[in-house]
Amino acid sequence: MCLAVPGRIESIEDENAVVNIEGNRVNAMLALIPEASVGDWVLVHAGLAVTLMSEAEALETLDLMREKYAVEDE
């Protein structure tokens, strides 16, 4: 239930952002990180961006996750 995935903010309208997660566009609310801006990497959980990440942190997390799902898919 506590899964969260990194993605990059593509656009922002009020408190709501469109976040690109591995090519999928999802809506995420920015109420917890009001300082976020377009181009930032964020960690998304249950429709909510919960923290900012650096690009390196986000890419490292995605790398680890990709490896996991590659194994899962086998």
Q: Which residues bind other proteins (CB under 8 A)?
A: 1-4, 29, 31-34, 43, 45-48, 50-51, 53, 57-58, 60-61, 63-65, 67-68, 71
Tokens found for residue 67: 């490896």
17 vs 2: CA distance, rounded Å:
20
CB of 46 to other proteins, least distance (A): 4
CB 27 within 8 A of CB 18: yes
Element (H, E) at 44: strand 41-45
CB of 47 to other proteins, least distance (A): 3
Beta carbon nearer to other proteins, 2 or 13: 2
